Amino acid sequence: MTTVHRIVSGMRPTGPLHLGHYFGVLQNWIQLQQTHKCSFFIADWHALTSEYASPQKIASFVPELLIDWVASGLDPQKSVIFRQSEIMEHAELNLLLGMITPLGWLERNPTYKEIKQELVAKDLNTYGFLGYPVLMSADILMYKATMVPVGQDQLPHLELCREIARRYNYFYGQYFPEPQAQLTETAKLPGLDGRKMSKSYGNAISLGEDLSQMGKKIMSMLTDTDRKRLKDPGDPANCNLFPYLQLLAPGQDFPEIREGCTQATRGCMECKKLLVKKMEEFLAPIQAKRNELKANPDLVQSILDQGTARAREEAQHNMQEIREKMGFGR
Ligand code: SF4
């Protein structure tokens, strides 16, 4: 019998979602909600750790994120979808867990220094930025999550969360399960120029991308850089475009493309045209649902309100037990 896990995960509302988000995160969430008890939250307090100087932007992206999630297939009937900052218990648990988290654990966090170096334009010498793994632990432990979908790079954060859970259980008695990682196997989709897909590099296709823009972007996409002319044989394994086709047509191996490419009988333009077609087919239902939701802001708000109410009920119940174990029961 398959174990039903309690799953919690979130995303920061910092901009429109692109294909990298869909194939790297959302697709997995959509599958998980079929068989597990899932909560997915809009991590607007987390966004503040780097965007604290312009919080208005964060607020404006909250409904956008919800629309992208639901249009992509997250089902508010199956998953609890909520906004982190609407549930004050997250802040309370963050405070309590902060009391027991040794500073050295946070300073050792490998991504702390990396992100600080990456985002040099922002002053991240803040208490909030150093402590964001504690807030993340509060988000996860609040719902007694047993499994968290993560990429390889987030494993240290989850280990830190388990250490915090262990420390709480040691001091106050067993309460929190130690959440295990569900390693997301999905391939990382490269950006159109071969670098990591990111809105800031201008190399992404967003879920709401205007289709004519999308076509232009694909036509100027990087393929196999060793293939200068049609008569040069190419290699799909060295091609930036080929993984897109594989993701958009799962299960297909494209033998005719592999053969035509390696024997220099197929031009890259043919692949680009095929990709435009596949991309239109993929984006069309998502965009139709997006447009429907965008035209109905009351529905969007009500999805968020209902999910937040469900999450709040669970958070309030658990928080009362967490307080009581520490001698702060009311
Ligand atoms: S023919 Fe297709 S697979 Fe080969 S390099 Fe060009 S785009 Fe890539």
Asked if residue 19 has pLDDT above 70, the reply is: yes
Asked if residue 199 has pLDDT above 90, the reply is: no
User: Sorting pLDDT into bands at 50, 70 and 90, what band is 1?
Assistant: low
pLDDT at 115: 72
pLDDT at 186: 62
User: Sorting pLDDT into bands at 50, 70 and 90, what band is 121?
Assistant: low
Pair of tokens at residue 86: 């609407």
Q: Which secondary structure element, helix H or strand E, spans residue 81, and what is its range?
A: strand 80-83
Nearest CA to ligand 1 atom 7: 268
User: Sorting pLDDT into bands at 50, 70 and 90, what band is 204?
Assistant: very high
d(CA 93, ligand 1 centre) in Å = 52
Asked if residue 309 has pLDDT above 80, the reply is: yes
Evaluate: CB of 245 within 6 angstroms of ligand 1.
no
Q: Which of 71-75, 129-133, 278-282 has the lowest mean pLDDT?
A: 129-133
CB contact set of 119 (below 8 Å; sequence gap of 6+): 50
Which of 268, 275, 276 to mutate to test ligand 1, by most ligand atoms within 8 A of the CB atom? 268
| 161: number of Cβ within 10 Å | 24
Q: Of 182, 93, 96, give the one whose Cα is nearest residue 141.
A: 93
- Concatenated DSSP letters of 123-158: ---SHHHHTHHHHHHHHHHTTT-SEEEE-GGGHHHH
Evaluate: CB of 241 within 6 angstroms of ligand 1.
yes
Asked if residue 117 has pLDDT above 90, the reply is: no
Asked if residue 330 has pLDDT above 90, the reply is: no
Which of 220, 242, 275, 278 to mutate to test ligand 1, by most ligand atoms within 8 A of the CB atom? 242
Q: Write the CA distances from 23 to 27, 106, 161, 278, 325, integer angstroms.
A: 6, 30, 25, 15, 41
Average pLDDT, the chain: 93
d(CA 241, ligand 1 centre) in Å = 7
Q: Is 276 exposed, middle or buried (0-12, 13-18, 19+ CB in 10 A)?
A: middle
Asked if residue 220 has pLDDT above 70, the reply is: yes
- pLDDT mean over 72-93: 98
Nearest CA to ligand 1 atom 5: 224
pLDDT at 53: 86
pLDDT at 299: 97
- pLDDT mean over 72-87: 98
- pLDDT mean over 208-220: 94
Asked if residue 113 has pLDDT above 80, the reply is: no
Q: Quick one: DSSP state of residue 183?
A: E
- Tell me the helices (H) and strands (E) count for the chain, helix number first: 15, 5
Gap between the terminal Cα atoms of the chain: 40
| 52: number of Cβ within 10 Å | 15
pLDDT at 154: 85
pLDDT at 125: 83
Q: Which of 8-22, 89-103, 114-128, 153-167 has the lowest mean pLDDT?
A: 114-128
Nearest CA to ligand 1 atom 6: 268
Atom of ligand 1 nearest to the CA of 266: 1
- pLDDT mean over 222-251: 92
Nearest CA to ligand 1 atom 4: 261
Q: Which residues pair with 10 in a beta bridge?
A: 41
User: Sorting pLDDT into bands at 50, 70 and 90, what band is 224?
Assistant: very high
Q: Which residue has the higher pLDDT, 179 or 110?
A: 179
pLDDT at 197: 86
Evaluate: CB of 244 within 6 angstroms of ligand 1.
no
Residue 195, SS3 per DSSP = coil
